Amino acid sequence: MSYTEKQLKEELDNKSYEFGFVTDIESEKAPNGLNKDIIKLISTKKSEPDWLLNYRLKAFEIWQTMEEPNWAHVKYEKPDFQNISYYSAPKKKKELKSLDEVDPELLKTMEKLGISIEEQKKLSGVAVDFVMDSVSVATSFKEKLGELGIIFCSFSEAVKNHPELVKKYMGTVIPFTDNYYAALNSAVFSDGSFCYIPKGVKCPMELSTYFRINESGTGQFERTLLIADESSYVSYLEGCTAPQRDENQLHAAVVELIALDQAEIKYSTVQNWYPGDDKGLGGVYNFVTKRGICGYRSKISWTQVETGSAVTWKYPSCILKGNFSIGEFYSVAVTNNFQQADTGTKMIHVGKNTKSTIISKGISAGKSQNSYRGLVKIGKGATNSRNFSQCDSLLMTDQCGAHTFPYIECENSSATVEHEATTSKIGEDQLFYCLQRGISEEKAISLIVNGYAKEVLNKLPMEFAVEAQKLLEISLEGSVG
């Protein structure tokens, strides 16, 4: 039996946000508000060393002097930073050695998310570092990775077990002085992932982390640090779902990538946080700072499929410091209903013969606003650098908006920079062609949209590509007429 578009639509109509359930786990929560005592509390709870506490306090001081930026093309109610709890962790009962010891409630949550750890372990060959709110509770495949010398663990574990690495690299790509939300994150970050690939090692499996905002009213401040040592390779997946809530939740993560000489990092994200309901109520605020730095002949590739969040504000960037380094950015951003996205990338060419490619596809539906904002900077020393950018926008209704704000700054005469952008709706002739061949209108639209985003979807690892395609369909549900 074939599953028709109509059936899908019916199913979707009757279905609210699929992952909008709340896990009932006793959790320990810090009182609302932000001050030095709270930071000290977070640090003590996590039994952190003094240098990290000082780092947090310094970041907090800087943060207090900063102003919340408002240049992005989004409108939202500013979060009340004193009304957020900055620490929440599932109560730790004892050290966990095997899955049997994990809270059955938590296991159920994972099953609903479709990432049952048992199955993951047996079948997919993906090591999952599952972050429930702020503390990692289960890590698999650790031993297998350990044999290769790969460190893949939660950030707090890394602070305990590998302080020298954390100390050396943390904040080198995104210092806490960088921007308002990076400073906030540096002061209060709860947990996150840490990954180190040793020299010459090609990571045999795709590493993945599922982030999930759980406790109501808890800001999630993840911190990811990924270091690929010389001549190594790693592919990292990040996928997100969050339960349905009516109040806006803040997510301000920091992701730092460091690709040393001749290393390659592939970082893929599928972001499907709660976008708010069809009246624009609720939804997650996603203000993320992501940046990578490239050494000699290294490569960083960002791929993202953004379908969630009420407000997205995200610019995964590459600093192409080493000669012959390569930066890539592939993105599909879908906004529906009252979602707002201001997303793009920054490619900063410093080294000679550096190359960057930007492919950004925006799809706006409903009453949403979707903006591409990108910077390509060719520095004075970036001889023979090359950039190609393409950003296309697709408009599905007459009430949504699609905007492009590219910044091109070129200070070297031997560089070649190209940028092109188009904005259009689905072509009547394309639609007519499909209808004429007996394809229903909805199917035709889904076909065209998937074809439109193909260039980016193709860059995703297999299991993500499937999920991403399904997400595209769900996100655009009922938006065309």
Partner 1 sequence: MITDKLIYSSLVRGDSNTSLDLLRKTPFPSRKDEQWKYSPLKKLKKLPFINNSGFSVKSISTLNLPKMNGLILVLENGRVNANLSEFHKINGIKLSFLSSSKENDNPIINSKKENYFSLLNSSYLSEGISIEVGSGFRVQENINIINIVSSNDSLINTKLDLILSENSSIHIRQYFLAHGKTTNGFINHNNNFIVQNNAALVLDKFQDLKNNFHISNDFIEQEESSKFISNTFSMSGLLTRNDILNNVNGEQCHSELNGIFTPFKNDHIDNHTTINHYFPNCKSYENYKGIMKENGVGVFNGKVIVHENAQKIEAFQQNNNILLNDEASIYSKPELEIYADDVKCSHGSTTGQFDQESIFYLRARGLTLKKAKELMILGFINEVIQKSENSDYIDFILERVLEN
Closest contact distance (angstroms) between CB of 277 and partner 1 is 23
Please identify, among the stretches 128-136, 225-233, 337-345, 409-417, the one whose residues bind partner 1 according to the rule CB under 8 A: 409-417
The reply on whether position 440 binds partner 1 by CB under 8 A is no
Closer CB to partner 1, residue 284 or residue 449? 449
Closest contact distance (angstroms) between CB of 359 and partner 1 is 15
The reply on whether position 409 binds partner 1 by CB under 8 A is yes
Q: Which residues, 295 to 334, sit near partner 1 by CB under 8 A? A: none
Closer CB to partner 1, residue 289 or residue 404? 404
Closest contact distance (angstroms) between CB of 380 and partner 1 is 7
The reply on whether position 67 binds partner 1 by CB under 8 A is no
The reply on whether position 51 binds partner 1 by CB under 8 A is no
Closest contact distance (angstroms) between CB of 394 and partner 1 is 9
The reply on whether position 66 binds partner 1 by CB under 8 A is no
Which residues are bridge partners to 11 per DSSP? none
Helix/strand/coil (H, E, C) string of the chain? CCCCHHHHHHHHHCCCCCCCCCCCCCEEECCECCCHHHHHHHHHHCCCCHHHHHHHHHHHHHHHHCCCCCCCCCCCCCCCHHHCECCEEECCCCCCCCHHHCCHHHHHHHHHCCCCHHHHHHHHCCEEEEEECCEEEEECCHHHHHHCCCEEEEHHHHHHHCHHHHHHHCCCCCCCCCCHHHHHHHHHCCEEEEEEECCCCECCCCEEEEEECCCCCECECEEEEEEECCCCEEEEEEEEECCCCCCCEEECCEEEEEECCCCEEEEEEEEECCCCCCCCCCCEEEEEEEEEEECCCCEEEEEEEECCCCEEEECCEEEECCCCCEEEEEEEEEECCCCEEEECCEEEECCCCCEEEEEEEEEECCCCEEEEEEEEEECCCCCCCEEEEEEEEEECCCCCEEEEEEEEEECCCCCEEEEEEEEEECCHHHHHHHHHCCCCHHHHHHHHHHHHHHHHHCCCCHHHHHHHHHHHHHHCCCCCC
The reply on whether position 352 binds partner 1 by CB under 8 A is no
| Sign of the CA dihedral with 317 first, then 388, 407, and 334 last | negative
Q: x/- string (CB under 8 A) for partner 1, residues 95-134?
A: ----------------------------------------
Could you tell me the two tokens for 200? 């010459």
- Residue 251 CB partners (closer than 8 Å, separation 6+): 213, 219, 220, 221, 222, 273, 284, 285, 286, 287, 288, 309
Chosen residue from 16, 416, 440, 458 binding partner 1 by CB under 8 A: 416
Which residues are bridge partners to 220 per DSSP? 251
Closer CB to partner 1, residue 113 or residue 408? 408
| Residue with the two structure tokens 């492919």 | 359
CA atoms lying within 13 Å on the CB side of residue 59 = 26
Q: Which residues, 71 to 90, sit near partner 1 by CB under 8 A? A: 71, 73
The reply on whether position 407 binds partner 1 by CB under 8 A is yes
Chosen residue from 281, 425, 430, 455 binding partner 1 by CB under 8 A: 425
Query: Could you tell me how many residues of this chain bind partner 1 (CB under 8 A)?
Result: 36
The reply on whether position 418 binds partner 1 by CB under 8 A is yes
Chosen residue from 102, 421, 434, 439 binding partner 1 by CB under 8 A: 421
The reply on whether position 406 binds partner 1 by CB under 8 A is yes
Closer CB to partner 1, residue 116 or residue 397? 397
Closest contact distance (angstroms) between CB of 435 and partner 1 is 18
Chosen residue from 252, 294, 396, 472 binding partner 1 by CB under 8 A: 396
Chosen residue from 85, 116, 423, 450 binding partner 1 by CB under 8 A: 423
Closer CB to partner 1, residue 292 or residue 327? 327
Closest contact distance (angstroms) between CB of 204 and partner 1 is 41
Closer CB to partner 1, residue 199 or residue 425? 425
Chosen residue from 4, 7, 16, 399 binding partner 1 by CB under 8 A: 399
The reply on whether position 68 binds partner 1 by CB under 8 A is no
The reply on whether position 336 binds partner 1 by CB under 8 A is no
Q: What is the rounded distance in angstroms from the CA atom of residue 64 to the CA atom of residue 48?
A: 23
Please identify, among the stretches 74-82, 133-141, 160-168, 389-397, the one whose residues bind partner 1 according to the rule CB under 8 A: 389-397
Q: x/- string (CB under 8 A) for partner 1, residues 358-387?
A: --------------------x-x-------
Residues forming the site for partner 1 (CB under 8 A): 71, 73, 378, 380, 393, 395-425
